[in-house]
Amino acid sequence: MTSLLRLEAVAVAVQFTGIRAVDEVDLTVDEGEIVGLIGPNGAGKTTLVNALSGFQRPTGGSIHLGGADTTKWKPDRYARRGVTRTFQGVRAFGAMSVRENVEVASLGTQGSPTQAAERATELLELFGLSRVARIPASALPYGDERRLGIARALAARPRLVMLDEPAAGLNEDESDELLVVLSEVRRDMGCGLLVIEHDMRLVMRLCDRLQVLDNGRTIFVGTPAAAQQAQAVLEAYLGLTWAERDARRP
């Protein structure tokens, strides 16, 4: 039996010309679990995910995947080991159709073009994109564009996926639909998900565990329920002190 894949950051730091964007952060995400990475703008969330996926070299600490030191790995090597990601900007091939975008992402791991096409059909159906499969990706409305980005990240049958603000710009109904789909991704595909997100309705219902960053440092790790009661989270992320929160209660 294949053991569960773990991605682990150990005291990871990323510094840019005197600014410590990520400051000795420890983080783990296991295959099959959903971890939310939250915090105010500028907290270091995307920089940390860039380091965890090979797009940014850490200036301190180490990264491990399945027990191997992957600190110096490039993105393509992570992808070959089953770790993919999305970006805040979808980065689709605009002139290609929606279906072609997913098929291209599948070709690196599927055994044949036929299998890649079958995988694309599966994902287009899962994300409600079959109705727009033939149109150019550049013509997609914003909500469909976000779903296409996730479908492409899943096309290679990854074991761990990092999602950078998948619900950004979605309305409440679209966010609820995304919640259902991401829950199905974990249930049906067994993927682990590391989700950067500001939509607290989505995060609180989707995630098994939350990690909160502020000024590049971890200020909380625990369940969504515990995060809602943590003073550090209320002050840093929600901008409320305990007294202010109590004062707002009916």
Is residue 177 domain-shared with residue 68, that is, in the same domain?
yes
Is residue 182 domain-shared with residue 164, that is, in the same domain?
yes
Is residue 228 domain-shared with residue 162, that is, in the same domain?
yes
Q: Which residue has the higher pLDDT, 115 or 212?
A: 212
CA distance 89 to 230: 32
Per-residue confidence (pLDDT) for residue 245, from 0 to 100: 47
Is residue 239 domain-shared with residue 166, that is, in the same domain?
yes
pTM score: 0.89
Number of domains in the chain: 2
Is residue 181 domain-shared with residue 119, that is, in the same domain?
no
Is residue 14 domain-shared with residue 131, that is, in the same domain?
no
pLDDT (tens digit, 9 = 90+) per residue, 129-181? Answer: 999 999 999 998 888 888 899 999 999 899 999 999 999 888 899 899 899 99
Is residue 215 domain-shared with residue 166, that is, in the same domain?
yes
Grade residue 250 by pLDDT with cuts at 50, 70 and 90. very low
List the structure tokens of 83: 């770790």
Residue with tokens 């091939």: 93
Average per-residue pLDDT for the chain:
89
φ/ψ of residue 91, rounded to 5: 65, 35
CA distance 85 to 87: 7
CA dihedral 115, 98, 80, 26 (to 10 degrees): -140
**Would you call 210 helix, strand, or coil by DSSP?**
strand
Instruction: Decide: 167 and 136 in contact? Cβ < 8 Å.
Output: no
Domain limit, last residue, from 134, 152, 170: 152
Is residue 26 domain-shared with residue 105, that is, in the same domain?
no
Domain limit, last residue, from 103, 127, 152: 152
Grade residue 106 by pLDDT with cuts at 50, 70 and 90. confident
Per-residue confidence (pLDDT) for residue 89, from 0 to 100: 73
| Mean pLDDT along residues 74-99 | 88
Per-residue confidence (pLDDT) for residue 113, from 0 to 100: 86
Residue with tokens 């998948």: 166
Domain limit, last residue, from 127, 152, 177: 152
Task: Report yes or no on 1 lying in a domain.
Answer: no
List the structure tokens of 111: 């055994």
Q: In b/e form, how buried is each residue of 233-246, taking b as 16+ CB within 10 angstroms? A: bbbbbeebeeeeee
CA distance 41 to 194: 17
248 pLDDT more than 90: no
Task: Report yes or no on 233 lying in a domain.
Answer: yes
CATH classification at residue 37: 3.40.50.300
**Would you call 195 helix, strand, or coil by DSSP?**
strand
pLDDT (tens digit, 9 = 90+) per residue, 13-39? Answer: 999 988 899 999 999 999 999 999 999
